Chain A
Amino acid sequence: MAKNPRARTAKKTGRRHPLAAVALIVIGLLSTGGAYAAFSSTATADETGVVSQSTIEEGEKLFAANCATCHGAALQGTQAGPSLHGVGAASVDFQVGTGRMPMAFDGAQAERKPVQFTDEQIEAMAAYVASISPGPAIPDEEYLTGDSDAANGAELFRINCAMCHNVAGAGGALTEGKFAPPLGGVAPEHIYEAMVTGPQNMPVFNDMNLSPADKADIISYLTYVDDNSSPGGFELGSLGPVAEGLFIWIFGLGAVIAITVWLTAKAN
């Protein structure tokens, strides 16, 4: 333990410096805050930062007029609709931005339908909900470009998503009339938001489960499937063997039977 006495004295002076305690507190706060920010959604801070108070107020009005009947004036929920505590901006952007909310009727599951609000109105409602009930934020543009690793995305999609949405994103059935919708033509931000918020019957795929980069890869795969039609010709809905079987019975065998009737027809 024979150490250089010079260094020891220097260290001692450093630790006993009058500002040492302040510096420690600053370092501690910065690191905890930074770690918290890193673990929670990074975008939350940005988003609340850029939204102005007037947008939130507009969102509050829109919410009161269109959503509060079911979700409650203070987002607390009613018998007709769930509470929105902890849903955040991403959920609002997904549900309203895909036309699922406001709901047309109380069915097994909210359906995609024409969007009822402008982008600004949706943004305002999202800002309002996020302001009183923070949660997952609207994703950063960098994850939505659709040009990252589609192969990794396809593999993740097969493991995490395909059992409900089908390998080609053609959708599938769930229990009691619920369903996993087809993913063709869904905007990248909505795919991302669905993964972080878990709408309807979908589980949440948080950032510990699928990192934002993984989510971006999945979006890239779905973008690839959307942009590239099948090299084999018409896809018959990407439904697999059922569509193929129906097709061969109706059109294949139908055409062949028409030919047999033609070949055996008596000349008039």
Chain B
Amino acid sequence: MSTSTVTPPTRGSRFTAAAANYLDERTSISGAVKELGRKIFPDHWSFMLGEVALYSFVVILLSGTFLTFFFDPSMTEVYYDGEYLPLSGIHMSVAYHSSLDLSFEIRGGLLMRQVHHWAALLFVASIGLHMLRVFFTGAFRKPREINWVIGFVLFVLAMAEGFTGYSLPDDLLSGNGLRIIDGMLKGLPVVGVWISYFLFGGEFPGVEVIPRLYVLHIMLLPAILIVTLALHMVLLIVNKHTQFAGPGRTNENVVGVPILPHFAAKAGGFFFLVFGVIMLIASFFTINPIWNYGPYDPSPVSAGTQPDWYIGFADGALRLAPPNWDVHVFGYTLPFGILVPMIALVGLLVVVAIYPFLEAWITGDKREHHIADRPRNAPTRTAIGAAGVTFYAVMWAAASSDIMATHFMLTMEGVIHTLQALLFVGPVIAFIVTKRICLGLQKKDREIALHGFESGRIVRMPGGAYIEVHEQLDDYERWRLVSFNDYAPLMIRPNAKGRITAGQRMRAALSRWFFEDRIVPPTKGEIEHAKEHGHH
């Protein structure tokens, strides 16, 4: 506060004050602004990945609205009479015709289509990366388990939005994608054919599915997505954001910048940067050139037919299933080549969704955690994550098996067989290697915290011996290295009836597996002792 002069309020600030007062007297908004405006957000680049998802979603909403003005999901059959020569006179649906018109006849239409599609790819990619950040820093632990599940639902909704959108243009590529979904549905025993006929309104492909997917894509799914997103944000505010350990940062506080004005200004700027990146990509790079694919016709399939990247893991799972897995029972066929991949996919998604509860049960940890773990300080969790990422990545890579075969001059069978083996061996290797790396890094941290780091200065002692001088860390740097929780495996305890249940045994075994190999953070005593020792 300045005490020397009191400057009279300017015209502008008088207007602002009056306007704010007017609003507050009618809405009592100052309470909310006071509460939210002083909300603190910690600063770390990886905390902004969720924002990227949010901003690309805004871009998707804007560009998607533009597209709805011109896209017509009708399946009425017409002959193409537009600009694109290699399709002129070709028989097609109005849906495909209007997608082509969007691309060739409507000013800015192609750009908006590309913005929409690129933003969708970025949306799901940033959600994936955001989830990985949350996982590897343990930010899903109490009290944030429910928000993890909500975030997972958002991820699934984003994939559903992507897939329904991908199917709308009714070109060859999207039709092939729908055919695979149809095949997977029909692979389900008993109910499969019923579900397929219900979805497609009769025999595949029919004329019902595109208008139905359109309603899902522009109305139902976005509405659910927005509500879920709002819930996600509310819980984020209620739970507060996690922060990395550092001087002055405890489990009880949040150190960072307040929403108003700093964070809001930065976030607003960041929105336009993300928007700009998407616009640049969309202006210069073709995405989904529907004019190449031609109208959907169930007979042709193009080489290199793949879904968008986020459905790739499902496509890859199907490609990795060995042939000849059909089993015939009482005149029915059980196509295990389709059922097993579907079970694997659903299983993977379920494990991702319930992981916070699994880990809480294994560790028996009921404390609240607001300090994000460094991945190395939870070696088993990090290793599980690495194994999961590997499992997903192998399936994902399998979706491009044909492209790998042609571009790296390999045989298709070689690629598939290698990936089949990697699907099982890869996660195990990733688990072991990641865990060892984490433990090694923890050991190094402990060493540095206690004895400082090697300065590279060699001193010759009077007795002729050489020693390397170790530089001590200052207290701020050391804090970062030593502040993490120590866990120990759970003990088996008899329950109220004096019995040890099988569940208890399993929990204890899992807990032992989780925490058996660990590096204990240095205690205060050890640090003090090392400091004195270092001063000699």
Contacts and interface: CB of A to CB of B under 8 A. Distances in A.
B is a partner of A: yes
Interface of A: 108, 150-151, 153-155, 158-159, 162-168, 170-177, 179-180, 221, 224-225, 230-236, 238-242, 244-249, 251-253, 255-257, 259-261, 263-264
A154 B273 contact: no
B89 A151 contact: yes
B165 interface: no
Given A230-B286, A261-B45, A162 B302 contact: yes
Interface in B408-424: 409-414
Interface string B267-296: 001100110011001011111110111100
Contacts of B122: 248, 252-253, 256
Interface residues of B, number: 70
Contact of B302 (A166, A179, A234): A166
Given A173-B303, A245-B308, A252 B277 contact: yes
Contacts of B305: 240
B54 interface: no
27 contacts: A158-B293, A163-B300, A166-B302, A166-B304, A170-B303, A173-B401, A173-B403, A173-B412, A174-B412, A175-B411, A176-B413, A177-B409, A225-B292, A232-B289, A233-B283, A234-B286, A240-B305, A241-B173, A242-B309, A242-B399, A245-B312, A248-B281, A253-B122, A253-B129, A259-B277, A260-B270, A264-B44
Contacts of A248: 118, 121-122, 125, 281, 309
B286 A164 contact: no
B86 A224 contact: yes
4 tightest A-B CB contacts, nearest first: A172-B303, A245-B309, A232-B286, A173-B402
B301 interface: yes
B412 A175 contact: yes
B45 A263 contact: yes
B49 interface: yes
Please classify the interface of chain B as helix (H, G, I), strand (E, B), loop, or mixed, using the class held by over half of its residues.
Answer: helix
B405 interface: yes
Given A247-B285, A257-B45, A162 B411 contact: no
Contacts of B320: none
B90 interface: yes
Given A159-B299, A245-B308, A108 B45 contact: no
A39 B281 CA distance: 53
Given A173-B403, A239-B304, A256 B286 contact: no
B329 to A, nearest CB: 31
A263 to B, nearest CB: 6
A176 B412 contact: yes
Contacts of B303: 162-166, 170-173, 180
Contact of B85 (A150, A159, A163, A246): A150
Given A170-B304, A175-B412, A241-B307, A231 B104 contact: yes
Given A252-B281, A256-B52, A239 B403 contact: yes
A245 B121 CA distance: 7
A155 B287 contact: no
Contacts of B283: 233
A179 B405 contact: yes
Interface string B118-157: 1001100110010000000000000000000000000000
A241 B87 CA distance: 22
A260 B49 contact: yes
Contact of B286 (A170, A173, A233): A233
B163 to A, nearest CB: 12
Given A153-B86, A165-B303, A234-B285, 13 more contacts: A151-B85, A158-B297, A225-B86, A242-B306, A242-B403, A247-B281, A248-B122, A248-B125, A248-B309, A253-B122, A253-B129, A257-B49, A264-B43
A168 B285 contact: no
B114 interface: yes
Contacts of B297: 158-159
B362 interface: no
A177 B277 contact: no
B125 A249 contact: yes
Given A154-B86, A231-B103, A257-B45, A168 B289 contact: yes
Contacts of B125: 248-249, 252-253
B270 A259 contact: yes
A154 B294 contact: yes
A154 B89 CA distance: 11
A150 B86 contact: yes
B401 to A, nearest CB: 8
Contacts of B308: 241, 244-245
Given A173-B303, A245-B309, A233 B284 contact: yes
A12 B289 CA distance: 71
Given A253-B122, A264-B45, A241 B406 contact: no
Contact of B126 (A174, A175, A253): A253
Contact of A241 (B90, B277, B309): B309
B110 interface: yes
Given A163-B300, A168-B292, A238-B292, A175 B413 contact: yes
A167 B293 contact: yes
Contacts of A240: 173, 302, 304-306
A253 B52 CA distance: 9
Contacts of A162: 172, 300-303
B48 A177 contact: no
